[in-house]
Structures are given as C-alpha cells and as structure tokens.
Chain A
C-alpha cells in the first residue's frame, strides 16, 4: 500500500487512516500499531519541519514483512539528512535540564526493530521494520 501526503501536520489523520486500512488488509496484530504510528509520525513530522527546501508531497509505503511490517517514507528534492544518526537524548537528566528537542527521533530509534536510510538523486528515503514481539 502506498500513498502521497502533503507537507502538513493535518495529514497525520490521513496517515492514521492509511495505517488502519493496511493493518486490516494485511491481517496484522493491532499490538504493533502504537510503534508503527509513532515512528511514522515522528519521521513524517521531521521531514515536514526540517526539509523546508521542498514542496513535494511525501510518499509513504507500507508492506508486510515476514514477522511484521515495513514502512518507508520518501521525501523528494531535499538535502541529505540521516535520522539514524540523530544525537542521543539524556533521558536520565533532571527536569530543569530536559527539553523536548530530539525526543521524537530518539524514540523511533529505540522502539523500531531496524531502520535504514538511503539518499540518492536528492531523494531521502527512510525505511523501518516493526516486528512481532
């Protein structure tokens, strides 16, 4: 299943609709949804927020993986940014030292089972897999 989305947070509801349809058609266990929803949102929001040089729609593809689901997000006409190299977050820091910055990608890297980045012809493609636990 694949679909393109405009560069707007308002598209998040449509991404959820797509994910629901994919899970239903693929017969996947609902328990995987929380991680898939979180990783997809965080990566989409990161593209919308930081790849401001592009006005192209973002392509999201979902396909069954042997034990779960593989999701890819492709952003067109953008500069290279590899989310898999995002800095760590000190989640043990006291409250006065905590800021929300960087938490989204940190959570993605912690919660998905694998993640892969490709950059070619000004296309940035990030693919992650969430497996059955």
Chain B
C-alpha cells in the first residue's frame, strides 16, 4: 500500500511503502509540485532505492528553480537509509523526534 496526497498547508503526505512498484505513482504526483516541497514522512514505513530516485529527481528539478524538497518527521529506519545514501547531506531533514 502506498498513498501520496496534499495535506494541510500544501504539505505532501506519503503513507506506506515506497518501493519500485510505487515509484512511478510517486514521481507522477511530485512532477506536479512547484516551489518549495515539504514531504511529511510520518507514515512512510519503507523506502528503497527506487523511492530515493524519485526524491532525488524531484529535489534536483526544484533546486533548479531555487527551491527544493524538505523531508520532515523522518523515523530512524528511513533516516538510516538517507544516511547510507548520503541524502542527509543533500536534503534538509527533520527527524520525527526533532519536532
């Protein structure tokens, strides 16, 4: 199961497992986003390299216009993946416990 939609104040809320089977769905949604994109990962249970690719592509596109992707409410399992991937150096990340 994977869902992605706009929540309050234009924050993008993702829910479930962002794997290779769901990456296209996520990319299609995020391709519509313009300006600063805040992704709430509270309910993101799992992400693989396919999902990381979606985040990277979206971040690069938005950085090209002076904004980017901010990741909030990141749990420690997902944060481990970001850290191993070097994404913690590319994205602004707010851990779940930091808010």
Contacts and interface: CB of A to CB of B under 8 A. Distances in A.
A103 B52 contact: yes
**Main SS class of interface, B:** helix
B39 to A, nearest CB: 16
A89 B53 CA distance: 14
A110 B21 contact: no
Contact of A103 (B49, B63, B77): B49
A38 B86 contact: no
20 contacts: A9-B19, A9-B21, A12-B19, A41-B20, A90-B86, A91-B86, A91-B89, A92-B86, A95-B59, A95-B63, A95-B90, A98-B56, A98-B86, A98-B90, A100-B56, A103-B85, A104-B48, A107-B84, A107-B85, A111-B84
Interface of A: 9-10, 12-13, 16, 34, 37-38, 41-42, 45, 89-93, 95-96, 98-100, 103-104, 107, 110-111
Given A12-B19, A45-B50, A95-B59, 10 more contacts: A91-B84, A91-B85, A91-B86, A92-B86, A92-B89, A103-B53, A107-B49, A107-B81, A107-B84, A107-B85
